[in-house]
Amino acid sequence: MPEPMSTALFAARVGFFLTRYGSYSFNRRKQDDKSVRKWISTNLESYRSSIMEIMERSHRKDNRDLSHTMKRLLDEIDMFKNDSYLAETGVKGQFFSSKSAASSTSLEKLIEYDALIMEDINRGGKALEHLLKALSSGEEGVEASAEDIVTHFISSRSKFRDRIKYIRGFGD
């Protein structure tokens, strides 16, 4: 069982991104879930412009590897964003029903998922900014960094899908 202090830290980490996060208190579960998913979607959408700019610059410099990597990243971002929009967790599922008796341990695990996913997405966005700056300054060998960013977002999306499975498992 997670310690209360670690749970408070995870909730505070999510609170860094969401001002009205209620840590899934019973009367706020749907709103908290919706807020988390909206934050994810909004931030992923905002990264599209950086990706498009990197693609444009790599295309102008005839860097096909970087263009291809950014296209893969764009596809991954779009799929991730779609997963977030289409997740029915806030409407359906045992966790959100009035009969749900999710344990404090279950809630703590969900808060931990939220914190880790949001922090990962934030780090990925910062890595995109650094990549764009590296391209602007003419740095060479940025393709490896681009590959790392793709891997990072693939990992974040995987954690989000695990979160959805976790929520769906409440009450089973």
Indicate whether 25 belongs to any domain.
Answer: yes
Is 75 among the domain residues? yes
pLDDT score recorded for residue 111: 81
CA distance 156 to 172: 26
CB 91, CB 30: distance < 8 Å:
yes
Q: Is residue 97 part of a domain?
A: no
74 found inside a domain? yes
Residues 34-58: pLDDT tens digits?
888 888 998 999 999 999 999 999 9
Asked if residue 109 is part of any domain, the answer here is: yes
Asked if the structure places residue 96 within a domain, the reply is no
User: For residue 165, is pLDDT > 90?
Assistant: no
Does residue 118 carry a pLDDT above 60?
yes
For residue 95, being part of any structural domain is answered with no
Residue range 65-74, pLDDT digits in tens: 999 999 999 9
Q: pLDDT above 90 covers what percent of the chain? A: 42
> How many domains are there within the chain?
1
Residue 123 belongs to a domain: yes
Residue 7: what pLDDT?
56
The answer to pTM > 0.95 is: no
Domain that holds residue 114: 4-90+102-168
